[in-house]
A = this chain, B = another copy of it.
């Protein structure tokens, strides 16, 4: 069994270096395209360090999923905390579209694209990805719930369903953006989300 929590600062730093390097490589080349040699070279870390901190390749990939989730939610946390106003939601949507534009409409969602790569191969990875989506969606659901409490959403509206639909539009929009190399696809999808949410306004 690999070391879970390194006790020394040096150990923690090494483990973090490995996960960061692996996450970057997975984002660039896909999970299947990353070899442990690649990870070791980028970290840098030797072979035995990888196996000191992780059971095996799959274990490392799962750590990458968690790290990637933290990163994705981290970069948008400011927006996610303000999803309880129409303006806050619009700002979030605009930031997501800008992010795709500036990135050349490449890569899609770092979490979403892992679903197709790992979802059917590693059940634990699937659960980790699902947990990531749950955390993401919870921010939106909470925001919508607060809007409903303030009577900005109809009492009959279901924040949970609206949040799920919005996540579907976001992920689907990112998929179409990636495959068509066109950030306008996400813009269209999020405009639709806007229509959908406003249709539930009080």
Chain A interfacial positions (CB closer than 8 Å to B): 28-30, 32-33, 106-108, 112-117, 119-121, 126, 129-130, 133, 161, 164-165, 167-173, 175-176, 178-181, 185, 188-189, 191-192, 195-196, 199
- CB-defined A-B contacts under 8 Å, sample of 18: A29-B120, A29-B121, A30-B32, A108-B115, A112-B175, A113-B116, A113-B119, A114-B116, A120-B178, A126-B179, A164-B185, A165-B169, A168-B188, A169-B169, A169-B172, A171-B172, A171-B175, A196-B196
This chain: copies in complex: 2
The binding surface of chain A is classed by DSSP as helix
CA distance A120 to B117 in the complex (A): 12
Q: Which residues of B contact A178 (CB under 8 A)?
A: 115-116, 119-120
B117 touches A117 (CB 8 A): yes
Distance in Å: Cβ of A80 to nearest Cβ of chain B: 18
Q: Which residue of B lies closest to A112 (CB)?
A: B175
B169 touches A176 (CB 8 A): no
Distance in Å: Cβ of A67 to nearest Cβ of chain B: 18
Most chain B CB atoms below 10 A, which of A165, A185, A196: A165
Distance in Å: Cβ of A106 to nearest Cβ of chain B: 7
CA distance A171 to B174 in the complex (A): 10
CA distance A29 to B32 in the complex (A): 12
Q: Which residue of B lies closest to A169 (CB)?
A: B168
Q: Which residues of B contact A185 (CB under 8 A)?
A: 164, 168
Contact of A133 among B180, B188, B191 (CB under 8 A): B180
Contact of A172 among B28, B170, B180, B195 (CB under 8 A): B170
B176 touches A167 (CB 8 A): yes
Distance in Å: Cβ of A145 to nearest Cβ of chain B: 17
| Other A-B pairs, 20, CB within 8 Å; known A106-B120, A199-B199 | A30-B116, A33-B121, A107-B120, A108-B116, A113-B115, A113-B116, A114-B116, A115-B116, A120-B178, A164-B185, A164-B189, A165-B189, A167-B172, A168-B188, A168-B192, A169-B169, A169-B189, A171-B171, A175-B175, A196-B196
